[in-house]
Structure formats: structure tokens, C-alpha cells
Amino acid sequence: MSKLWGGRFSKETSEQVDAFNASIGFDCRLWEQDIRGSIAHARMLGLSGIIPSADADKIVKGLEEISRDIKSGKVEFDISAEDIHMNIEKLLHQKIGDVAGRLHTARSRNDQVALDLRMYVKEQIRKITEEIEALQETLVKTAEQHIHTLMPSYTHLQHAQPITLAHHLLAYVWMLQRDRGRLSDCLVRTDVMPLGSGAVAGTSFPIDRYLVAEQLDFPRISENSMDAVSDRDFAIEFLSAGAILGMHLSRFAEELIIWNTKEFGYIELDDSMATGSSLMPQKKNPDIAELIRGKCGRLYGNLVTMLTVMKGLPLAYNKDLQEDKEPVFDTVDTLLQCLGVLRALIECTEFRVERMKESLTGDFSTATDLADALVRKGVPFRSAHETAGRIVAYCIENKRTLEDLSSEELEKFAPELGQGASLDPASSVEARDIPGSTSPGRIQEQISAAYRIIHS
């Protein structure tokens, strides 16, 4: 096949160059966006009188037929046509003849690919956001079942203070809400229509860019043609938001992996969401969570790839930008897969309530409550902290727990306590009754707030 740009050349490109230069193997995913953009462009050309309206109608009809053919699996893309844009144009020429050549009037592949990628990212942001919302809802529903389920919180992976499982799960709801916010912000900067920028300097034809933007549901058009064809900030921002989202999913996956160990025993994975060992018959492995944790590395890599591709590019378009699509496609696929499978994993995981509660026994996680009780008696916090530390040291030395110390024993260290302090985990949780804390009443407030933001 002769190249659509071949007029200047006296030799055919080598097969090696064709194979290296072609992007149809991956940018075929943009066929729907490419056709929609071309239909809008053709209609505008006809309405603006740049091409005959009859030709515009013929082009639109041909593109709609190609769309149906691709959906029904009748189309095999051609590597010699390089990319999705030239493949569609070739197919259009086969359907309607030389009239197809009018479609590319006042357009370049440079602004065409910028349009296609923006449309694709817009659509995927909405899909990913829906999956985030579904995961948030699963977490909130699970939290509702565990408002009174006691467990230790951790700092430095050491027992810190008693909390509820609901409080722990809801922490991820707010992380995911920030992810939604980042994607929403990214959408604002993605939602700019670049078509009409041409190859670099715009076009001399009297096109109506606002009409095209309206047809394609873009609220605004790009301001500078050189920036429009070479800008991939929106893709970098999307990959950055995706990497942060992946980090949050990886953190939760890591906790599920730890909680699934015999040493912790906080959860029991459903058989349908675990795998076994080819050698050790007893094994039940958290492979799903491990893969989510591992795939976070891909998301980081995609962001670094795109930043590196862009770091030294002079204005305006350069072929390096062909490398923008695979990182975006991979991040979309990875996020949608991870979000869906993590939600399914949570929905069928058994949280071992009694084991969580038992792990609080003798762990000294109410030592802060002891210090707080002394503060309420007028002791400065630093002195109270030191006294509570000495009581913990006494317990460790004598193999005792805070909970089973008598009032008399406590008074030896801190006469100010009088009748002692309530040092059981349930009381500790109940005492934390300020907004954002772990007491059951405040957890209920969090749950209500979470449902509002999920459905807003």
C-alpha cells in the first residue's frame, strides 16, 4: 500500500521501518474515539462550507459503517497503514472512494491523536471513578458490620491503642476519596479540545472549532496550537493519580496479607479468592492481595516512563509521543482490574472478631488512657507519661497486665488515681468521642458522611 504521506518519497519504506514505526498494535484501542472525532470534524467541514455537504454526509455514513464493522469483528487492521488514524482513513477510502480524501482537510494526525487520547482518558477517568465508588461502598458496608469490633491499631507495626475495625476500614474510604478528587481535577485539564491545531500552526481554513467541541462534549478549546499538539500533561497527571491510587490499594493489600498470617489470624480468606501451593498441601495463599501489591510497581513505572519521554522534547510534536499510549492503557487496565478484584476479595473475607479482640489482651495498648487519667487528676502530661511507663515496666517484669492491676497497686505508683482508671479496650474506644475518632458514635457519623460523599 502506498503511504498517505508518500508523495515526497521516491522509495518505499523498508519492512523493518514499517514494523518499528507502526503503532496500530496498541493504538487500535482508540478506534472508537478516532471515528467519533472524524465524524464531528466531517460534519463541521460540511456545515462550514469547506467541503461539499454531500461529501460530508457520505464521509459520516462511511465512518458509521466502519464503526459497525469493527464492532462486529469484520475489520483486520493493517500494519502498513501505521496507526489507527491512517487505518480508518484507508478503510473509508475502500468504502466511499476518493471522497474519503476530503476528511483530512484542515487536520493533522498531530491534533487528531491529541484529541483521541484526551477523549479516551476522559472516558476512563469516569470508569475508574465508578469502580472507586463501588469499592468505597463495599468498605463502608463492611465497616457498618464492625462498629463495635475491637482491634489494636498499629504504629511502627507495634500495638498502639485500641480501635474498632470499622475505624480502620473507613481510613481507606477517605484515602480513596482523595483519589477521586485527584481524578476529578485531572478531568478538568483533560477536558480541552485540541482539534483545529493542525500539525503545529493551526489552519488557514475557516473551521469552527467550537462546533466540533460541542459535538464531542468538550467545554473549551485549546488556546495555543503548538502547546495543544505536544501537551501530554493531562496524561502525566492521570498516571500520577493512578500511581497514588495504586499505592493506596497496595497498602490495603499489604494489611490483608499480614492479617492473613497465622501470627495475626485476623482474617480468613474465602477459598474462591485464594490459591494453593504446588508442593505444600496445607497452604492457602493471599495471591490476589500480593498481585495488587505487586502491580503498584507497574503504575509507578508507567508514570516514570511518561515523565522521561517528555522531559527533553522541544516544541512541538515529536515521534517520541507515540510512547504515550501504552503507559496510559496499562494504567487503565491495571487499575480497573485491581479495584474490581479487591472489592470482591473484601466482600467475601471473614473478619475474625474474637481473634482481634483477644490480641488486645495484655498488650498495654491502654497505657495512654492511664496517662490521660492522671492528667485529669491534675498531673502534667509529661509526668503522667513517665508514671504510666513505669507501671508498664512493672507489669512486664511481673508478668502482669494493666487490666488486672488492683487500685492499691496503681496507687503505689500514682496516688492521684484514687479508685484507679478504666483500662479495658472497650472503655478506651468509648472515651475517644470527638469528631474523626474511633468511638462507635463517631464511627456512625463517619459512615453517614462516607455514604454522602460516595453518592454525591
Task: Kindly write down the DSSP assignment for every residue of 248-276, as one continuous string.
Answer: HHHHHHHHHHHHTSTTT--EE--GGG-B-
Q: What is the CATH number of domain 110-146+162-205+218-358?
A: 1.20.200.10
pLDDT at 456: 82
Residue in the block written with cell 516514570: 304
Please tell me the predicted confidence (pLDDT) of residue 408: 85
- CA-to-CA distance for 383 and 254, rounded, in angstroms? 37
Q: Is the pLDDT of residue 268 over 70?
A: yes
* Active-site annotation holder among 10, 156, 272, 456: 156
Please tell me what DSSP assigns to residue 2: -
Over residues 132-164, the pLDDT tens digits come to: 999 999 999 999 999 999 999 999 999 999 999
Q: CATH second-level architecture of 367-454?
A: Orthogonal Bundle (1.10)
Q: What is the mean pLDDT of the chain?
A: 95
Classified as helix, coil or strand, 121 is helix
Q: Hey, what CATH topology would domain 9-105 get?
A: Fumarase C; Chain B, domain 1 (1.10.275)
Cβ-contact 128, 339 below 8 angstroms: yes
Residue 48 Cα distances to 112, 206, 207, angstroms: 19, 7, 7
Q: What is the pLDDT of residues 21-58, one digit of tens each?
A: 889 999 999 999 999 999 999 999 999 999 999 999 99
CB-based contact 198:107 (threshold 8 Å): yes
Average pLDDT over residues 124-133: 98
Coil, strand or helix at 151: strand
| pTM, to two decimals | 0.95
The predicted structure's pLDDT at residue 329? 98
Q: What is the largest CA-CA distance in the chain?
A: 101
Residue 277 annotated as catalytic: yes
- Structure letter (DSSP) for residue 285: B
Q: What is the CA radius of gyration of the chain?
A: 31
| Res 2 pLDDT > 70 | no
pLDDT in tens, 358-410: 999 999 999 999 999 999 999 999 999 999 999 999 999 999 999 888 888 88
Q: What's the rounded Cα separation, in Å, for the pair 445 and 313? A: 50
> Is residue 6 predicted with pLDDT exceeding 70?
no
What distance in Å separates the CA atoms of residue 358 and residue 381, rounded to the nearest whole number?
29
* pLDDT over 60 (residue 250): yes
pLDDT at 43: 98
Contact 110, 317 (CB under 8 A): yes
Q: How would residue 8 be classed by pLDDT, with cut points 50, 70 and 90? A: confident
pLDDT at 424: 92
- Residue 261 has phi, psi (to 5 degrees) of -70, 160
Q: Which of 14, 53, 184, 277 is catalytic?
A: 277
Strand partners, 163: 151
The DSSP result for 134-145, as a single string, is: HHHHHHHHHHHT
Same fold yes or no, 9-105 and 367-454: no
Active-site residue flag, 156: yes
Sequence-distant (≥ 6) Cβ neighbours of residue 19 within 8 angstroms? 79
143-157, 287-301, 377-391, 412-426, range with the lowest pLDDT: 412-426
Domain boundaries, the chain: 9-105, 110-146+162-205+218-358, 367-454
Query: Quick check: bond before 81 cis, omega within 30?
Result: no
Element (H, E) at 176: helix 165-190
